[in-house]
Amino acid sequence: MHVSVIGTGYVGSVTGAGLAELGNIVTFVDIDQEKLAQIRCGKAPIIEPGLEEIIRKNIAHIKTTTSIDIAVNETDVTFICVGTPSNSNGSIDLRYIKSVSEQLGQTLKNKKKYHTVIVKSSILPSTTDTIVIPLIEKKSGKRAGESFGICSNPEFLREGSAVFDFFHPERIIVGCHDEKTRRQIKKLYSSFACTKMFTDIRTAEMIKYASNAFLATKVSFANEIGNICKKLCIDSYEVFKGVGMDNRINPHFLRSGVGFGGSCFPKDVNALIRQAQDLGEKPRILSSVITTNDRQPEKMYSLLKKHVSVKGKTIGLLGLSFKPGTDDIRESRAIPLIKKLQKAGANIVAYDPVAMTNLQELIPDIRYAESPVSVLQSDAILIITEWEEFEHLDYSGKIVIDGRRVEKARNEAKVYEGVCW
Ligand code: UDX
């Protein structure tokens, strides 16, 4: 099939490159010429294991353009993969979604052949029905399900293993109304053996938000129980090892610690809270998921203060990305901790194998170390991200406050405090 992908961020670039690897011809669309130039040179526009390899391998079947018009006219199917950032009140900024929908409508007005639009960007339930479809219909003068097809096909890719996740999905969720779109999607995903659930558009959109909200809830639940464990000198990791043995619960997403970050959990849970409130609901569980998460860095800071008076001391941070395997610092727990330490007058020295450049743009006024060894010389060390290399450092004689359970630090440090153990 000939497929176009609008937006070459992490969802778009992985989806497009994955579809090219499966034998499709893919046209990438972006307003950012630089990203397109990178793709044309066989380079990945984001850091993601395996991505560059499949872009390079399939370069002969990959095209790039800044024009939605060109892309739509030379393809049968278009994926919308543009970003949906947060507004300051937690609601979603739909500016890119709206602009792309309008441009798609303008193009479809003159396209004779049937075209299928697949929404992959994370948008709240009802957004496709109430915003995307009306905009396309208005600009094209055509009807969804008659002259063009549209569906919601949320992504469940994890950063750091997005390419693996693309090729090994646990399920494919598709929300659409008409039979033709359904047939088109079945054809596109025919090589995947996993369960394909076809449902309506709103339900598919909600499946995405409910999935992320549930996983975030598991983490905050593990943290809340973990905080109680800490007070009772119980090891929360042992507790959740036992809890996770129950098949109804399962062992995943029960690692307690400094909390969740990233581009999805905080943004999606906040957006769902906001939507619920607009609908007159009081989403108490979801609100507590965020409150508990926001409190975990505070817990780490309190544990630090138990052992050192922060003012004028050098505090070292190990790990700055929101999780290992990525340079993404969005909503990283390092950010609130650094702000708190700065306010308290600490000298901060930080190390991360890949995320320092990104954090430096946001927080330029701390010291970034070339190696973890200089961080180890600090008066106290905070572990924020569980990079594998931190399991090989020498923590003997050190004061360590651990937000992620690094066993070597736990075994060796002179003073060791886990957030929840
Ligand atoms: C998540 C979803 O997993 C993915 O399906 C969706 O498409 C995008 O959002 P991602 O943000 O890449 O993926 O990271 P994930 O691996 O889910 O971790 C999110 C955060 O939760 C990280 O900060 C991680 O450190 C934290 N986490 C995760 C915990 O604190 N404890 C856990 O047990 C699991």
Ligand 1 center from residue 321 Cα (angstroms) = 12
Beta-strand pair 380-383/148-152: unpaired
Ligand 1 center from residue 352 Cα (angstroms) = 18
User: Counting atoms of ligand 1 from 1, which one is nearest the CA of 254?
Assistant: 33
Q: What angle, 0 to 180 degrees and rounded to 10, lies between the N-to-C axes of helices 265-278 and 201-231? A: 110
Give the residue whose CA is nearest to atom 25 of ligand 1. 323
Give the residue whose CA is nearest to atom 15 of ligand 1. 158
Give the residue whose CA is nearest to atom 22 of ligand 1. 260
Q: Is 262 in the pocket of ligand 1 (CB under 6 A)?
A: yes
Q: Is 261 in the pocket of ligand 1 (CB under 6 A)?
A: yes
Partnered with residue 383 across adjacent β-strands are 318, 402
Residue 238 has which token pair? 């042992």
Ligand 1 center from residue 323 Cα (angstroms) = 8
Collapsing DSSP states into helix, strand and coil, what is residue 288?
helix
DSSP structure string for 132-164: IHHHHHHHH---BTTTEEEEE----PPTTSHHH
Please, are residues 7 and 64 in contact by the beta-carbon 8 Å criterion? Answer: no
Task: Give kind and range of the element (H or E) at residue 104.
Answer: helix 95-110
Q: Is 322 in the pocket of ligand 1 (CB under 6 A)?
A: yes
Ligand 1 center from residue 393 Cα (angstroms) = 25
User: Counting atoms of ligand 1 from 1, which one is nearest the CA of 386?
Assistant: 25
Ligand 1 center from residue 219 Cα (angstroms) = 9
The catalytic residues are: 264
Q: Is 56 exposed, middle or buried (0-12, 13-18, 19+ CB in 10 A)?
A: middle
Q: What angle, 0 to 180 degrees and rounded to 10, lies between the N-to-C axes of helices 334-343 and 284-307? A: 50
Collapsing DSSP states into helix, strand and coil, what is residue 348?
strand
Q: Is 405 in the pocket of ligand 1 (CB under 6 A)?
A: no
Ligand 1 center from residue 212 Cα (angstroms) = 9
Which amino acid type is present at position 233?
Answer: C
The Cα 204–Cα 197 span in angstroms is 9
User: Counting atoms of ligand 1 from 1, which one is nearest the CA of 258?
Assistant: 30
Residue 337 has which token pair? 């901790």
Task: Give kind and range of the element (H or E) at residue 19.
Answer: helix 10-21
Q: Quickly tell me which residue has 């709206």 as its tokens.
A: 98
Collapsing DSSP states into helix, strand and coil, what is residue 264?
coil
Please, are residues 257 and 403 in contact by the beta-carbon 8 Å criterion? Answer: yes
Residue 142 has which token pair? 């055509």
Q: Is 68 in the pocket of ligand 1 (CB under 6 A)?
A: no
Q: Mean pLDDT, consecutive 10-residue segments, the chain of 421 residues? A: 96 98 98 96 93 98 98 97 90 95 98 97 97 98 96 96 97 95 96 97 98 98 98 98 98 98 96 96 98 98 97 98 95 98 98 97 97 97 98 98 98 98 98
Give pTM, 2 decimals. Answer: 0.96
> pLDDT value at position 244?
98
Q: Is 330 in the pocket of ligand 1 (CB under 6 A)?
A: no
Q: Is 51 in the pocket of ligand 1 (CB under 6 A)?
A: no
> pLDDT value at position 209?
98
Angstrom CA distances, 123 to 87, 231, 239, 314, 377, stand at 13, 40, 36, 43, 45
Q: Is 155 in the pocket of ligand 1 (CB under 6 A)?
A: yes
Collapsing DSSP states into helix, strand and coil, what is residue 328?
coil
Give the residue whose CA is nearest to atom 5 of ligand 1. 156
Angstrom CA distances, 283 to 271, 278, 361, stand at 11, 11, 35
The Cα 163–Cα 186 span in angstroms is 21
Q: Is 325 in the pocket of ligand 1 (CB under 6 A)?
A: no
Ligand 1 center from residue 191 Cα (angstroms) = 27
